[in-house]
Amino acid sequence: MKIITIIGARPQFIKSSILSKTIGKYSEINEVIIHSGQHFDSNMSEVFFEEMGIKKPKYNLKINSSQKGTTMIGRMIEKCEAILKIEKPDLVLVYGDTNTTLAGALSANNLNIPIAHVEAGLRSFNHFMPEEINRIITDKISTYLFCPTQKAVENLMKEGLSENQKIFKCGDVMQDAAFYYAEKSAIKSNVISKINLSKFILCTLHRAENTDNEIKLRSIVNSLNEIHKTTPIVLPLHPRTKLKIQELGLNLNVNIIDPVGYFDMMELLKKCALVLTDSGGLQKEAYFFKKNCVTMRDETEWVELIEKKVNIIVGSEKDKIVNGVNLMLNQKSDFTSDLYGNGNACHIIVKEISNK
């Protein structure tokens, strides 16, 4: 059996690293990896392959996120289809909700190749988010829908399925990765000694709905500057966000560091007092490491975190962000619920696709 895995962004590298290790235990499965190039900066891409021992991609399309969404997706489809015609896989595997995800799924669908979507069924119910459209379309054309949560299963059931689609509640592969790499990160990362802070807030900021909106970005930057006066903020700054801040001439007065690899991020998560983010995946990772989270968006696909009151939505308004941070910094939360499986998501996924 031949599987083509199509990845291109940081969260996909992490998910692929742990799932590919499980695939490698099945001698009857041959996995070929295509890297779209969506995250092309060495700190956003190469470091993950090196430190996590990810199988090297056979193909790198070198189509990066400096291009506009529709142009990027179109070029990815064109190149992916050409490769799929050569490789003739039995299955195409995609992760999450990026442009790479959608392009990979559409390429396979155009050639009538079955698709497995890992992290299926997530919904923010905000159709202005490109990621929401990406995940909806990918779910609609996938044969195997691997859901991380019960809520994701329910979302798909409400939307309806075609006859050939199969839903599996497998748990979250990101939790598999967190469990697997937790000890390794403590040995291999020195980021905590570099930042030299006993208490800090870990922040990430990259979502287009924030960075491409001048009013929202100005408000968020002002919020971070205000919070940093009392509790230091450590911000691994995404290249695209950095460019937007420079273009607007904004003054960001926090501890800015270069984008970090997964091991450094894990150590930052372990040691931080709070997570402040507009990322999707980091909201979950905060829970894995028993940290409260403040999300700078208007909604989240990880609704179970809101229900557990370990995460709050604050949008982009300064007062809401500052107040949310002050609230969650002092809140004692319960992290004992098994929201994302028990660390065997990869085994479930590979077992199902190997039975194809």
Closest-CA residue to 287 (of 332, 343, 340, 237): 340
Examine the residue annotation and report whether 206 is marked as an active-site residue of this protein: yes
Structure tokens at 172: 């979250």
Closest-CA residue to 220 (of 327, 324, 316, 322): 316
Strand-pairing partners, residue 5, are: 33, 93
Q: Which helix (H) or strand (E) holds 168?
A: strand 166-169
Alpha helices in 167-253 (DSSP H): 173-188, 191-195, 208-211, 214-228, 239-247
The dihedral sign for the CA sequence 70, 73, 77, 83: positive
The residue annotated as part of the active site, out of 206, 228, 238, 347, is: 206
Euclidean distance between CA atoms 281 and 273, whole angstroms: 18
Distances (CA, A) of 328 to 111, 200, 291, 333: 48, 13, 9, 9
Active site residues: 206
